[in-house]
Amino acid sequence: MNLWQQLRKILQLRFSPNSLKGFVSLVLVGTVLSVSLAACSGTNTSNDTGKSQNVELTLVSFAVTKAAHAAIIPKFVEKWQKEHKQTVVFKQSYGGSGSQTRAVVDGLEADVVHLALALDTQKIEKAGLIQAGWEKKFPNNGIVSKSVAALVTREGNPKGIKNWADLAKDNVKLITADPKTSGVARWNFLALWNSVIKTGGDETKAIEFVTKVYKNVPVLTKDAREATDAFFKQGQGDALINYENEIVLAKDKGEKTNYILPDVNISIDNPIAVVDKNVDKHGNREVAEAFVKYLFTPEAQQEFAKVGFRPVDETVAKSKEFADKYPQIKTLGTVQELGGWDAVQKKFFAEGAIFDQIQAKNKR
C-alpha cells in the first residue's frame, strides 16, 4: 500500500473531532503529511551526488571593494554552477576595514575576509579564527588588490602642490584621517614617511618632515570617508590624501578630479583570507577556497582594474586596456621593507610610539 493509499484509508474512517477515534485519525493524517513534506523537502536540497544544491558564503570586505565584487561574484556563481551543479548564495558586508575586523572578531561569521591591510587580517588570526600562514595559501602572498596614494588638490591647484614635500609648507592645510583609528590613514602616514626614506633621508629627517605635515592637519577625522567629506563637502583643506582607486572610480563616473600621483609612493596592498574556523563550522571550505583562488584569475583581476585597483596579475596590468590607466610608479615602497605590519604597528602606531610623539610635539 503506497503513501497516498494509506492516507485515503485514514480519511475514510468515520470520526468526530470530539471522539477518541477521531483524534487518533487526525494525528495519523498529520504524521503522514509530515513524512510526505519531509521527503519532498529532501529532494529539493540535494542532487544525485549527495551534495547540497545551494551553498552559502559570507564575504566581509572593506567598503571600496564593493563595486568590484558586484561584478565578480555573478561570474563566479555561474562558473561554480556550471562545474559543480551547485548554486552559491553570497551574503556580503562592506565597511571600514577596522570596523569589519572588529565585527568578525566579535562574532560576524565571515567565511572570507578582504581587508585594507594585513594588520587587520592578523588581528583575526590572533583571535583564533584564521590559521597561521594564511598569506602562503594563495598567490601573491594573499594580496588580491592594490593601489597607491594620490594627492587630491583644489581645482586649478592654487597652492601649487606637486609632491609630498609641498605638504609641509606653512600655507598648506592637509586633510587626512587619524592613523590610530583608520587603516587608510596608516597607509597615508607610511606614504609620507616613505617619501623621505626612499629619497635618501634618515629617520631623523623623516620624523621632522612628518611632524611638519601633521602640524598642517586642522583635524584628524575618524576614518577616510569622513576625511573625504571634510574636503569635498565641507570645503576644508588644500589637499587630501586618498587611494588612487577612489579617484579613478570617481573619474570614471564623470566626476571632475584634480590629483597627483607622486613618483615616490607606497604600495597599498589588500589581502584576502579564508576564515578557517567559520568555514569548517559551515562546511563550505571547498567553495570558499575556490572563490578566493578565482579572485586571482585574469577575469576577476580585470574587474578590479575597471573600478580603480591596480591589477596583481601582470598580464592584466600590461594589457592595452590598463597599462595607460595605471602609470608605473618610479619608486615604490612596501610595508615589508619597513619590517612588516607587526613592526610597523609597534614602531609607529602603538601607544607612545612615533605618531603619538609627533602629535605631542605639535600640541606644544
**78-128 pLDDT tens trace:** 999 999 999 999 999 998 888 899 999 999 999 999 999 999 999 999 999
The distance of Cα 85 from the centroid of its chain, to the nearest Å, equals 28
pLDDT value of residue 314: 93
- pLDDT in 10s for each residue of the chain, 364 residues: 444 444 344 344 443 444 444 433 443 334 333 333 333 333 334 454 455 689 999 999 988 899 999 999 999 999 999 999 999 999 999 988 888 999 999 999 999 999 999 999 999 999 999 999 999 999 999 999 999 999 999 999 999 999 999 999 999 999 999 998 888 899 999 999 999 999 999 999 999 999 999 999 999 998 877 888 899 899 999 999 988 988 888 788 888 889 999 999 999 999 999 999 999 999 999 999 999 999 999 999 999 999 999 999 999 999 999 999 999 999 999 999 999 999 999 999 999 999 999 999 999 8
pLDDT value of residue 17: 42
Residues 6+ apart with CB under 8 A from 292: 112, 138, 144, 272, 273, 274
* Bridge partners, residue 274, by sequence: 112
Give backbone dihedrals phi and psi of 170, rounded to 5 degrees, phi first. -65, -30
Query: 302-356, pLDDT tens digit by residue?
Result: 999 999 999 999 999 999 999 999 999 999 999 999 999 999 999 999 999 999 9
Q: Are 185 and 191 in contact (CB under 8 A)?
A: no
How far CA 239 is from CA of 174, 192, 207, 257, 332, in Å, comes to 5, 14, 21, 12, 21
How far CA 132 is from CA of 19, 136, 276, in Å, comes to 67, 9, 10
Cell of 276: 578557517
Mean pLDDT for the chain overall: 87
pLDDT value of residue 255: 80
Q: Are 270 and 146 in contact (CB under 8 A)?
A: yes
Cα–Cα distance, 73 to 326 (Å, whole number): 24
- Taking each helix axis from N to C terminus, what angle separates 183-197 and 97-105, rounded to the nearest 10 degrees? 130
pLDDT value of residue 137: 96
pLDDT value of residue 50: 53
Is the whole-model pTM more than 0.85? no
